[in-house]
Amino acid sequence: MNKDRKVAVLVGSLRKESLNRKMAKALIAMAPAPLKLEIVEIGQLPLYNQDYEANPPSEVLAFKQRIQESDAVLFVTPEYNRSVPGLLKNAIDVGSRPYGKSAWEGKPAAVVSVSPGVIGAFGANQALRQSFVFLNMPALQQPEAYIGGAAKLFDDKGELISDSTREFLGKFLQAFAQWIERIAAK
Ligand SMILES: Cc1cc2nc3c(=O)[nH]c(=O)nc-3n(C[C@H](O)[C@H](O)[C@H](O)COP(=O)(O)O)c2cc1C
């Protein structure tokens, strides 16, 4: 039996009724062993400012520690203007500095992008991958998870009601679990 793999889940929306947060909760509930998914909040982080690098705020230190303690990172994000929401990009930037002390270094990553629109936040999903290259985060390539039409996927209680989406996400999580083990074995 593999040891637990802690996965930090970052949600790129602060909205109370966020479809992405509903999706993150659905993923947490269905994650297979050895994955242990947990949301790491990012709304409390200050806007990145190089001036505070010498003496970072406690929120920044706590956030970086949570990421460093994780075995992998799962990004669940909407698309804003065909790219990554500023909230999530800020968290990435905050976690990446000071230079040489990035919390992201070597962490396996995966992306689920979620939109009520038809192209499943493809632009945000791809833009995130551009950052992964520089951050040295080995990213799961397949299956890609562009979840479109997301307003119809959840009931009033926020439960995922689409069987086909659930089936797809199950395969996605299995692939991510295998990917994490592959990277850990290196
Ligand atoms: C500033 C802003 C820009 C947006 N740009 C896009 C976009 O480029 N592509 C898209 O599919 N949806 C776009 N949307 C709509 C979001 O996909 C939609 O609001 C979605 O529900 C946000 O995710 P959430 O439900 O997790 O908050 C945008 C919304 C906002 C507020």
pTM given for the model: 0.98
Determine if ligand 1 sits within 6 Å of the CB of residue 117.
yes
- Conformational region of residue 144, where left means phi above 0, alpha means psi within -120 to 50, and beta covers everything else: beta
Alpha carbons within 13 A on the beta-carbon side of 128: 39
Determine if ligand 1 sits within 6 Å of the CB of residue 81.
yes
Separation of 78 CA from ligand 1 center, angstroms? 6
Separation of 110 CA from ligand 1 center, angstroms? 20
Determine if ligand 1 sits within 6 Å of the CB of residue 80.
yes
Closest residue by CA, ligand 1 atom 4: 80
131-181 tens-digit pLDDT: 999 999 999 999 999 999 999 999 999 999 999 999 999 999 999 999 999
Cα four-point dihedral sign 146, 171, 8, 20:
positive
59-87 tens-digit pLDDT: 999 999 999 999 999 999 999 999 999 99
Q: How far apart are CA 25 and CA 37, in angstroms?
A: 9
Helix (H) or strand (E) run with residue 59 in it: helix 58-69
Determine if ligand 1 sits within 6 Å of the CB of residue 158.
no
